[in-house]
Structure 1
């Protein structure tokens, strides 16, 4: 299956997402801050990135923008995970280059389905 980057500063969410995606057959690279997420996306050959918007060091939005601006990661599928659910927040996420936007709390099953669907659309 795919190599999935999970970046979230909340250990419980990281563990939940990692468990569900591993259970679905994916390999998971798990990090807790923005700079680590950016480094992992560039160095670990990930197939898709799940980024929390509010992380220490660098927000998920900033990581998303950086990934989109670099030729080697510009087509990497990105899902933003966030507690921010206002319409303006969603618009900002998509404007930063996200392919999908999932509001916390979320269903782990729905998350796994969205990851699979995005990977299929991206041909990964």
Structure 2
């Protein structure tokens, strides 16, 4: 899941913590998409359960590489 840290009304840390408390969503990788790069943001993200960061302004390839790294390869089901 891609997550913006600066969401109006609530922040991405709150959303990440809520995901991590849900049994069905706890294993979903979370990538923060943010223009913020401060060490405090990264530490708060780790504590909230965010798995990785992608800086806004980076190429889409950066985000795609993170997604590929964080998600397991899809298994093809046998034909029936």
> What TM-score do you get using the length of structure 2 for normalisation?
0.82
Alignment partner of 1:54 is 2:6 = yes
- Per the TM alignment, residue 115 of structure 1 is displaced from its structure 2 partner at its CA by 0.6
Q: Which residue of 2 is the match for residue 68 of structure 1?
A: 20
Higher strand share: 1
Q: Could you list the runs of 5+ residues in structure 2 that have no partner in the other structure?
A: 75-80
Structure with the greater relative contact order (CA < 8 A, sep ≥ 6): 1 or 2? 2
Choose the corresponding residue for 1:118, options 70, 76, 79: 70
Higher helix share: 1
Q: Which residue of 1 is the match for residue 61 of structure 2?
A: 109
Separation in 1 of the partners of 2:33 and 2:8? 15
Separation in 2 of the partners of 1:96 and 1:106? 23
- Runs of 4+ aligned structure 1 residues displaced above 2 Å come to none
Q: Which residue of 2 is the match for residue 85 of structure 1?
A: 37
- Per the TM alignment, residue 119 of structure 1 is displaced from its structure 2 partner at its CA by 0.8
Separation in 2 of the partners of 1:70 and 1:58? 18
Q: Could you list the runs of 5+ residues in structure 1 that have no partner in the other structure?
A: 1-48
Aligned residues: 74
